[in-house]
Amino acid sequence: MNNVLKYSISNLLSRKGRSFLTILSILIGIAAIVALSSFGLGIKYYMEDIARTMGADKIMIMPKDYATALGESNVEFTERDLDFLKRIKGVDEATGMIVSVGKVKFKDYKEVYPYVTGISTNSKERRLAEEMFVGYGIIEGRTLKKGDVLKATLGYNYLIPNNLFKKPVSLGDKIKINDIEVEVVGFYEEIGNPQDDSNVYLSLEGAKKILGKENYFFILLRAAPDQNVAELGNRIKEKFRKYRDQKEGEEDFFVQTYEEIIETYGSVINIFIGVLVLIALISVFVAAVNIANTMYSSILERTQEIGIMKAIGAKNRFIALMFMFEAGILGLVGGGIGILLGYGIAKVGGIMAASAGLSMLKPAFPLWLITGCLVFAFLVGSFSGLFPAIQASKLKPVDTLRYE
Amino acid sequence: MKFKKIIELVNVWKTYQVGAVEVNALRGINFSVKKGEFVAIQGPSGSGKSTAMHLIGCLDLPTKGKVYLEGKDISCMSESLLAQIRGKKVGFVFQQFNLIQNLTALENVALPMIFQGVNEKERIKKARNLLELVELGDRVNHYPNQLSGGEQQRVAIARALANDPDIILADEPTGNLDSKAGKEIIDILFTLHKKEKKTIVMVTHDNRLAKYAHRIVHIKDGKVIRGE
């Protein structure tokens, strides 16, 4: 075995140019797989991390036409709706959120149009909203408290120059929301996606005044600790439907548990990764064809050598293994370099994404991805070499020496 | 000296299919070689002498008839078994030397021993000794393209001896060499025959070489016409 391997390596080294080109072809495919998968996995881990830190005890009620335009729905929830939901058995806490796109102006800089969200100033209720939407916590200043009407807290991106405005906003600065002046009292930590990091938060009172809205866009619930969240979600849906006097299947609202949301995102991400990896796999397939092609032409060139080896006692198995190893080594080396290249691309991409405010796009390189790609590359190589190898081993020694 | 048959061809036919035409390279050939003999096979080109050589060397199987090697019928053996036998019992010397270009002289000589499972240390030791035997002790790390024709053929002889075979088959061993180098090769083969008691079967059309042989077998049109 050892001898076959040595012999295979010396064969590859004696055809450096062609070996290099063949390696290049598989390298590209593997690099693409590593880079794409590492990003996909990074997003997946990010989501799982959020799910872990935020807990899965939350249920969200939102208008059915939510997807069309956030904050621009025909369905809204009233204070009475919120009271009704609060009283359902198994619901621990409930809070409503007012959401709308607002015009935000700071000094003389060009105005921006982020989401402006009204959240409760009750500390428990505010925490519920923060856990679900807002972020991890305050990085500078303070959260909104009772009596804050013309006060706002801002997303992380307002602290960064040339992001929303040319100059960063500081504590105590005044900004105008829908032409009403408010004071900035705090900033939230970075969430990692530009939309959420551009949000503006007001108290519910402030939102009603500035956005001119009375009703809630979202209602958030926290299940009691002993509750099965999915069952509770179903119960809420049924009770709330009856309360709103709607037929089954014709509700104008959604009830979604946090688990479901994470799952939905998770499966979307999985499909996304799957499609990307599929594209990368095509290039690996092309590489496999290329390896097979290299091996076939190598056999043609080395027909005489195969004959000599057989004449001096090489068994079919030796010849077959020799070609299999050569193909496998091409795969393995290509895979190894491909992984390094993919790693490099993903790292650079991750740094670029982070500097663009997309710190959620952080590539992840679990060990199984690395070893998996390496084994995969070796197998692709060996398998591509399988048929050429069998063909080579079956050559009759006398036919290969016939030129005499 | 009492000779025992080491190779025997009994009514051997070899038919090749060339397109739609069947070509009989051998037509019921009979001949045998005794242990320790030096036999030359002569014949015009296309007479079937190389085909006969391939059958003796277990490189090919007869279409009809039997080939015995040390009394064993090899006509129906599997390719792997044949490979094993030829690796162990037969050493080949070809007209074109047939060395493997990306291996050194030493590695070329050691190669047949790999196929017989000899360990690396022993392989290298033996290959070195064999190269010294053919007076190439100072050329062990040269590649074939760094050696002259005569030197390459000597490497090939060393390789043929690697597994200490009883039979050496030489197919026009001096065909690609000048007369001086050719003479050296013949001397080595003759010494092997004399001192090591190797059985040597040599295909040649050179009458001067044939003189060294005990016996000359003449083949024409796929049949032995003299020397059987």
* Per-residue pLDDT, A301: 84
Q: Where are the domains of chain A?
A: 2-49+264-402, 58-224
**What dihedral angle (degrees, nearest 10) is formed by the CA atoms of B68, B70, B72, B77?**
-70
Which CATH class name applies to B5-226? Answer: alpha beta
Percent of chain B with pLDDT over 70: 98
Beta carbons of B96 and A404 less than 8 Å apart: yes
Q: What is the mean pLDDT of chain A?
A: 86
Are A183 and A150 contacting, i.e. CB atoms less than 8 angstroms apart? yes
Closest residue in chain B to residue A312, using alpha carbons only: B87
B133 in A contact zone (CB under 8 Å):
no
> Best of B86, B89, B113 to disrupt the A interface by mutation (most A CBs within 10 Å)?
B86
Helix then strand then coil, in percent of chain A rounded to 5, is 55, 15, 25
> B224: pLDDT confidence band, cut at 50, 70 and 90?
confident
Chain A residues inside the 8 Å CB shell of B159? 312
Q: Output the pLDDT for position A403.
A: 47
- Mean pLDDT of all residues belonging to chain B: 88
**Measuring CA to CA, which residue among A60, A65, A117, A56 is closest to residue A85?**
A60
**Chain A residue closest in CA terms to B162:** A312
DSSP state of A110: P
**Which 8-state DSSP code applies to residue A70?**
T
pLDDT at residue B196, rounded to an integer: 86
Q: Nearest residue of B to residue A4 by CA position?
A: B114
Distance CA A39, CA A44 (A): 9
User: What is the percentage of chain A residues whose pLDDT exceeds 70?
Assistant: 95
pLDDT average, residue stretch A191-197: 84
Between CA A111 and CA A108 the distance in angstroms is 8
Residue, of B4 and A347, whose pLDDT is higher: A347
Q: Is the pLDDT of residue B1 over 50?
A: no
Coil, helix or strand for B173? coil
- Residue A404 contacts B where some CB pair is shorter than 8 Å: yes
Q: In this structure, what is the dihedral angle of CA atoms A170, A173, A175, A180, given to the nearest 10 degrees?
A: 150
Q: What is the distance between the alpha carbons of residues A346 and A120, in angstroms, rounded to a whole number?
A: 40
Q: Is the pLDDT of residue A68 over 60?
A: no
A401 reaches B (C-beta below 8 A): yes
Average pLDDT over residues A131-140: 75
Q: Is B173 on the interface with A (CB under 8 A)?
A: no
Between B23 and B109, residue with greater pLDDT: B109
Instruction: Sort strands B5-18 and B167-171 into parallel, antiparallel or unpaired.
Output: unpaired
In a 3-state reduction of DSSP, which class is residue A325? helix
Binary contact (A315, B80; C-beta < 8 A): yes
For residue B148, the model assigns a pLDDT of 92
Q: Distance between CA atoms of A190 and A174, rounded to whole angstroms?
A: 21
Which residue of A lies nearest to B91 if distances are taken between CA atoms?
A312
Please indicate whether, in this complex, the C-beta atoms of A10 and B102 are within 8 angstroms of each other: yes
- Residue B2 confidence (pLDDT) above 60: no
Q: Tell me which residue of B102, B176, B68 sits closest to A8, measured CA to CA.
A: B102
